[in-house]
Structure 1
Amino acid sequence: MATAYPNEITASPEAVSPASPASSTGQIPLEQPPKLKGRHRLLQNLQRISSSPSLTRRGRSSSTGYRRDGKASLSCVSLSQSAYTPCLGNGSTSQLYGGLSARPITSGSGDSPECDANARIRLVGSDSPNASQSRTIPLPMDMRPGSRGLSPGTDAVEEPAAARSTPKPKKVFDFWGSMPDELKMRIFQFLPPREIVRCSAVSKAWNKMCFDGQLWTQVDTTDYYRDIPSDGLVKLITSGGPFVRDLNLRGCVQLKDKWQTEGERITDVCRNLVNFSLEGCRIDKSSIHYFLLRNTRLEYINLSGLAGVGNSAMKIIAQSCPQLETLNVSWCTGVHTAGLKMVVGACANLKDLRASEISGFDDVDFALQLYEKNTLERLIMSRTNLTDEFLKALVHGLDPEMDLLQERPIVPPRRLKHLDIHQCSDLTDDGVKRLAHNVPDLEGLHLSQCSELSDESVMAVIRTTPHLTHLELEDMEKLSNNTLVELAKSPCAARLEHLNISYCENLGDIGTLQIMKNCPSLRSVEMDNTRVSDLTLMEASVRVRKRGYDEKLPRVGLRLVVFDCANVTWAGVKEVLSSNAYLPRAARKSLQAVSVQSLVAQTVDPNQSTTVIASSITPPPAPSIYPNEIIHLKCFYGWQMTVDEHNRRVLRGDLAAANRLDRKWADYMMATEEAGTTGAGMRRRRRRAREAERIYNEDDEEAGTFGVGAITTLGAGRRRHTEGGGSGGCMVM
C-alpha cells in the first residue's frame, strides 16, 4: 500500500459507478472503462489512505492503475486554497465521477442545470502519456478538515467552523471601576479622616474621590491637627467647600501664615457652617469677621482664647447669626459684657453662654437682661468679678414680689441646668442663697474655691435641687461635715454621681460615710487632702459589691481619689483591692462544683451500665461570674503601681492572679513595717518589743521593790528569784 499524502487524493476511474442515478433523470450515462487484467486489475482494487475523514465518509473509489514509468503513478486532489467550482464543464476527454458533488442540490432550486447532484468532473490521472490536463483539482472549502485528528464519524462541514472560531478572552470584571460613585463615597465615609488623606496618594482617581466635598461635611481636626500640614489642611477645607457643616480647627496653629494669604478664599467657599470652632488657633481678626459674616446659619460658635475677638465680633454675631444657641468666648480678653448684651438681645435661641474671665459681671443691667430672657440652660461665669448683686438680679430680678409666709420672692424659676461660678472671690452666702427654690432643674453646680461660702448657703441650695448630679466643693475651708450629712439626706442623694471635696480639711469620715451609704449612683468622689480614713474606703467597697455579679467582665463603677490623706493606710487600700476581686459564697460554691466536674469526669458504659471515673489533667475553667463594677483608686504614689496592675487583672477577668498579687503585696507591706523602714512601722515595732518584754517579766513569781516585771534603770537585767524566798533582794547592776 502506498504512503498517504495529506494534500492529495487519488482519483480512479473505477470510482465512477456504472449505475449512476443520473440515468434515471435523463442524463447521459458514464462510459464504462475497459476491463483490466493481471497486475493492473490488482492495483486497481488498492486504495490510498486518505488524510481527510470527509472523503472516507463519502466513500472512496479504487485508485487508478500504477505504472512503472512514473508518468501516472497515483493522481491526487490538491488541497490548496484555490477556489473550487463544483459545476464543471463537459470535456471531450473527461469522465464523470458519480457521487462526488460538493453540495447536493435539492429539487426545485433555482440553480443552473449544470450544477445538479450528478455534476460532471474531469478525470484526473489519464493513462495517456500525452495527457496535458492537470492531475489535481482543489478540494471544496466546506469539505476540508479542521484537524487531522478528527474521528471518521464527525461531520466535515461543521468542524471547520468550530476550528476557525477563536476562543473569546475571559472578560475581566472590574469590581471597583464598575461600582457607582455613590457607593464609593459611602465606603470612604467609614474611614477616619487620617486614612482618607492617606488614600489620596494611591492614584489621581482616588485623590479626586478622597477630596470630594461629600466626605468632608464634618471637618474635625482634634485627632490629627498636629500631623497634617497647612497646605493639606487648606486643600481639605476648600475641597469640602459648601458641603462643610461642622468645622473644628481647634489647635491648628500651622495656619497662622495661611490666614493672611488664603483666608479670604477659605471663608468664601465655606458659607454653610452650622458648628464653628477656632479655639486655640492663631487667626487674624479679619478672617474671624469674614467667617461670621458669611455664615448666617451658625448655631455653635467657639472662639475661646482668641486675642483677636472683641466686642466688634460680638456685634457681627448679633447681626448675622440669629439662630445661635451656644457661644463660648472664655478667656477672650477683648470681650466685655457690653458686647454680650448685643448677642443676648439678638439671639432668642441662646441656651449656652460660656464667659470665663470676662470683665463686666458687676453690671446689673446685663443680669436683668438675662433674667428677662430666661433662655439659658448653661451659664459659666467662673474667675470673674461676679458680685452678690449681679447674682440676685440674675435670679430674682429687680424688686420682686415677696411671699410673706415663706419669705421668698415670687418669680418664675430659672431654666438653668449647669451653673459654674467657681473662683469668684467676691461671692458670699447672701448671694448664693438666692439660688435656693429658683433653680429646680439644676444638674451641675460648681462652687469650688469660693472661700467665703459656708454650710449655710450650700445646704440651702442642695435641699431644693432634686436633680443635682455633679457638685464641686473643692477648697472651701468653711465647710464642715454637716454639709455632707445634709447632702446624704437631700432629694438629690439618689441621683448624685460626682462629688469633689478635695482640700476641704474639715471633712472626714462622719460625712463621707453617710455619702457612701445613701448615694448609690456615685461614680466619682475626690477626697484628697481631707481627713477621711480607711473606714470610708471599706464602706465604699461594701457598697460597690452590692451592685451585683454577672457573667460579663467587670468595669470601673466608682473612682476614688485619696491623695495625701494622712489617715488612709495600706490596709484600707488592701481592703479595696480584695473587694474588687471578691466573689460571694454562692458564686464560689458554683465554681467549686465546676472545678470538681472538670477534674473528675463520669462516663456511663451503655453495655455494662457501670460508671467509670476518669481523671482529667486539664485546669479548671476561668470563673464565669464576675463583679459588675469595681473601684478605681488613686492613692499614694508608692502604692499606685500595684493598684493599677491589680485593676488590670480584674478588668480582664483574671481574679485568681489578682488575689495572688493582693496577698503578696500584703505580705510585703507587713514585712516592710516590721523592718521599720517607715516612721509608723518603727513605732509599732518598739511598742511590740515593749509588750513582749513586759509579758516576759511577768513570768517571774516574785516581784522586787520596783513591782511586778520591774526592769532595771539601765534595762540590762531583771529581778532574780532567791532561794530563801525572802522579801529582800539585790539589784544586778
Structure 2
Amino acid sequence: MFSNNDEAVINKKLPKELLLRIFSFLDVVTLCRCAQVSRAWNVLALDGSNWQRIDLFDFQRDIEGRVVENISKRCGGFLRKLSLRGCLGVGDNALRTFAQNCRNIEVLNLNGCTKITDATCTSLSKFCSKLRHLDLASCTSITNLSLKALSEGCPLLEQLNISWCDQVTKDGIQALVRGCGGLKALFLKGCTQLEDEALKYIGAHCPELVTLNLQTCLQITDDGLITICRGCHKLQSLCASGCSNITDAILNALGQNCPRLRILEVARCSQLTDVGFTTLARNCHELEKMDLEECVQITDSTLIQLSIHCPRLQVLQRYLCHIFTVLALLVSSSSSCLSCHTAAASLPLSGTLVPPVWSTVVAPVPAERLEPHPKHRSSLCLRRCHLSLHTLRLSFQTHLPNIKVHAYFAPVTPPPSVGGSRQRFCRCCIIL
C-alpha cells in the first residue's frame, strides 16, 4: 500500500511538527493522497488536527452514513466545521455517532439531507452544546420537536436555517427563542404554517437578530413584522418577498426602528406604495440592496427618494419598469448615488446594476454577452424596458451628454399597434 519513503530527505530535514503544520493547509482530497505516500505521511495526514473543517459537498453522491461515522472517529474533538450539504445517504444513526464523537462542532450544514428527522436534533442537543450555526434547510421531516431540543441543548446557537421545513409552527419558534435568545440569523423561507404569533415571539426574545428571511410565509401580516421591527433594532437584512399581506405600515416601522437596514427584499408585495418607501428612504440611509419586483404601485417618487437619501444603494431590482419615466432616470443619474466613486451606481429601470469599473450585468443577463469597459464607472441594464432606444439616446444627449447608451442585444420588435407602424424597442445598457 505504502511506498518506502519513510526515510525520504523531506522527512529527515523537516520535523514532524512542521510537516503537520504544512498538512493543515491542504484540502480533503490532497490530504487523502498524502496519506497514501508512506506510513509516516499517513499518520500525519490523518491526524485529527488537520480535519477541523470538512466540506463534502463535492462528494455528496458517494457519502453514506459509515463515511460520516469514520470521519467523526478520526477527527473527534478537533472538528469545528462540517458540511454534508446534499448528502442524501446520511441519516440519523450516522449523525448520532458524529454528535457523540465531535462534541466541539460549531458549524454544521445538513442542507438537503432529507433522511434526517427530529432524532438528529435530539443528538445534537445532547452532545453538541457549542453549536453556533446549523443549516437544516429542506430537511422536511423536521418538526417542532427539533426546535425544542435545540433550545434545551444548544444555547449558543446564532444562526439557524429551517427553510422549507413546513411542519414547523409557532409552537416550535416559541420553544426555540426561549432558549436561544442570542440568534443573529434566522431563515424561515417556505415555512408556510408560520403566523404573526411566531414573529411576536422572535421580536420579544431575539434582540440581537440581524438577518431574517420570511420568503413565501404567506400568513404573515403587518402585526407580526411590526413586532420584529420594534424588538430587533439591529436588523440589517429582511426578506419578506411573497408576503402579499404586508402594507406600508411595515416600511414605516422599519424606518422608525431599524436604521441599520442594508438589504430589503419585498418582491410581489403589491400593497406597498411610494408613501412607505419615502419614509424608509429618509430613515434607512445604509440601504445597499433592494428587490422591488412586482411592487406595482410604486412610481418615480420612490426612485427619486432612494437616489437622494440612500447613497450606498448598489443593487435595486425593479421589473415592469414602464412605470418609471426618463425624467426620473435623469434626476437619479445626476444624484450622489451615481456621482460617488466608492459605491456602485444602482438605479432600478427593471434590471440590475453592476459595481464600478465593470459593465457586466448581474443575473439573469449572462455576463459573457457584454464586453468589459474598464474606463466606465458603472452600467445600467434596462431589461424589459418599454422605452425605445431612440428615446433614451435623445433624452440623455439633451440632459447628460457624457452618458453613452449602447445596445448590446438584438432589438425586439413587438406586434404593430392599432393604427400605427411597428416600433423597434431595444434591451440596452447605459454606460455611466
User: Could you say which TM-score interval applies, normalised by the shorter chain?
Assistant: 0.7 to 0.9
Aligned identity (percent) is 26
1:297 aligns to 2:130 (yes or no): yes
The answer to whether the 8 A contact 2:168-2:193 is kept is no
Match of 2:26 in 1: 191
1:305-454 correspondence to structure 2 within 5 Å:
305-364=138-197, 366-367=199-200, 370-371=203-204, 373-384=206-217, 385-396=219-230, 414-454=233-273
Match of 2:75 in 1: 240
Which sections of structure 2, spanning at least 5 residues, go unmatched? 1-6, 353-357, 360-372, 394-401, 412-421, 425-432
Calculate the aligned-residue CA RMSD, in Å.
3.5
Deviation at 1:315, TM superposition (A): 0.7
1:575-586 correspondence to structure 2 within 5 Å:
none
Match of 2:419 in 1: none
Deviation readout 1:638-689 (Å, 9 max, x if unpaired): 49xxxxxxxxxxxxxxxxxxxxxxxxxxxxxxxxxxxxxxx668xxxxxxxx
What residue identity is the alignment partner of 2:82?
L
Residue 59 of structure 2 aligns to a residue whose secondary structure is coil
Deviation readout 1:56-96 (Å, 9 max, x if unpaired): xxxxxxxxxxxxxxxxxxxxxxxxxxxxxxxxxxxxxxxxx
1:475 aligns to 2:294 (yes or no): yes
Q: Are the structure 2 counterparts of residues 381 and 634 from structure 1 closer, same or farther at C-alpha, using a change threshold of 3 Å?
A: farther
Q: Are the structure 2 counterparts of residues 315 and 486 from structure 1 closer, same or farther at C-alpha, using a change threshold of 3 Å?
A: same
The answer to whether the 8 A contact 1:350-1:375 is kept is yes
Deviation readout 1:195-216 (Å, 9 max, x if unpaired): 2223333334333332221111
Residue 450 of structure 1 aligns to a residue whose secondary structure is coil
Match of 1:265 in 2: 97
Distance 1:372 1:241 in 2: 34
1:464 aligns to 2:283 (yes or no): yes
Deviation at 1:440, TM superposition (A): 1.2
The answer to whether the 8 A contact 1:251-1:279 is kept is yes
1:505 aligns to 2:322 (yes or no): yes
The answer to whether the 8 A contact 1:352-1:376 is kept is yes
Deviation at 1:504, TM superposition (A): 3.8
Deviation at 1:464, TM superposition (A): 0.8
What residue identity is the alignment partner of 1:437?
Q
Deviation at 1:337, TM superposition (A): 2.1
Match of 2:109 in 1: 277
Question: TM-score, normalized by length of structure 2?
Answer: 0.76
The answer to whether the 8 A contact 1:305-1:330 is kept is yes
Distance 1:207 1:417 in 2: 47
Deviation readout 1:348-398 (Å, 9 max, x if unpaired): 32111111122454334741551464221212222111112222333358x
Deviation readout 1:21-52 (Å, 9 max, x if unpaired): xxxxxxxxxxxxxxxxxxxxxxxxxxxxxxxx
Which of 195, 204, 209 is the aligned partner of 2:44?
209
Distance 2:54 2:258 in 1: 37
What residue identity is the alignment partner of 1:424?
C
The answer to whether the 8 A contact 2:76-2:101 is kept is yes
Match of 1:26 in 2: none
Match of 1:707 in 2: none
Which sections of structure 1, spanning at least 5 residues, go unmatched? 1-171, 398-412, 531-539, 542-552, 574-583, 585-630, 640-678, 682-733
The answer to whether the 8 A contact 1:480-1:506 is kept is yes
Which of 3, 25, 35 is the aligned partner of 1:200?
35
What residue identity is the alignment partner of 1:293?
K
The answer to whether the 8 A contact 2:80-2:105 is kept is yes
1:521-600 correspondence to structure 2 within 5 Å:
521-522=343-344, 527-528=349-350, 554=374, 558=378, 560-567=380-387, 569=389
In our comparison, the structure showing a higher alpha carbon Rg is: 1
What residue identity is the alignment partner of 2:385?
C
What residue identity is the alignment partner of 1:506?
I
Residue 304 of structure 2 aligns to a residue whose secondary structure is helix
Distance 1:326 1:498 in 2: 25
Distance 2:390 2:60 in 1: 42
What residue identity is the alignment partner of 2:135?
N
Distance 2:47 2:131 in 1: 23
Match of 1:646 in 2: none
Deviation at 1:246, TM superposition (A): 0.7
